[in-house]
Amino acid sequence: MTEPAPHPHTRDLLAEIEAEVAHELEEERPTPGEPVYQTVGALVGLAIGLGGGVLAFRYGLGSLSEPGPGLWPFAVSVIVAVLSAVLLVTGRGLTDSEAFTRSSLLAVAGMVTFVVFGVLLPLTGFEIPALALCVIWLRFLGGESWRNTVVISVVTVAAFYFLFLYGLRIPLPHLISL
């Protein structure tokens, strides 16, 4: 059995809605960037990967059976650096980059706070910098409410505390000993 054809007015309404949605999406689309934006993005990613790898290496890698505090951050940093290098080589011909805008500064602020977290970690332990990082990212960079920021930050830090220190047995510097 075949389905009945939609009413002609229904097709018109659907076409209007589709056109309106397409128009709204086009208006919200960020300004496209040039190939130089791909290159700059790849270089920034490469610098983050290499810098993160050096910092992670300083924490000590340990082994797979007894990982040190820098093993997994080092692995992630290597992946970021390799993918950024691939983008640097192949990305110049891509056209899906976005122009840098004021909102691009949010990514810079996120990166700077993460580096500060890495610097403070051995000095003050895991808990204080991790909580500060969560609060900054959620409230100031993400625009969350204070209630959500506090709840999510405390739960996240507690979860990572137990995951790293007790689940994975990674000897992170920490102030609180449970």
Flag whether pLDDT at 177 surpasses 70.
no
User: For 143, how many CA atoms within 13 A lie in the half-sphere containing its CB?
Assistant: 2
Cα–Cα distance list, 150 to 7, 87, 88, 157 (Å): 52, 37, 39, 11
CA 164: distance to chain centroid? 20
Q: What burial letters (b/e) apply to 23-60, b meaning 16+ CB within 10 Å?
A: eeeeeeeeeebeeebbeebbeebbebbbbbbebbeebe
pLDDT digits (tens, 9 = 90+) for 69-101: 889 899 999 999 999 999 888 877 776 777 777
Beta-bridge partner residues of 98? 32
DSSP per residue over 28-97, as a string? HSPPB--HHHHHHHHHHHHHHHHHHHHHHHHH--B-SSSB-TTHHHHHHHHHHHHHHHHHHHHGGG----
Going by pLDDT thresholds of 50, 70 and 90, the confidence category of residue 168 is confident
Distance CA 42, CA 82 (A): 10
Q: What pLDDT was estimated at residue 173?
A: 81
Is the pTM for the entire model greater than 0.85?
A: no
N-term to C-term CA, the chain: 68
Q: What pLDDT was estimated at residue 53?
A: 94
Once rounded to an integer, what is the mean pLDDT over residues 96-112? 80
Percentage, residues of the chain above pLDDT 90: 29
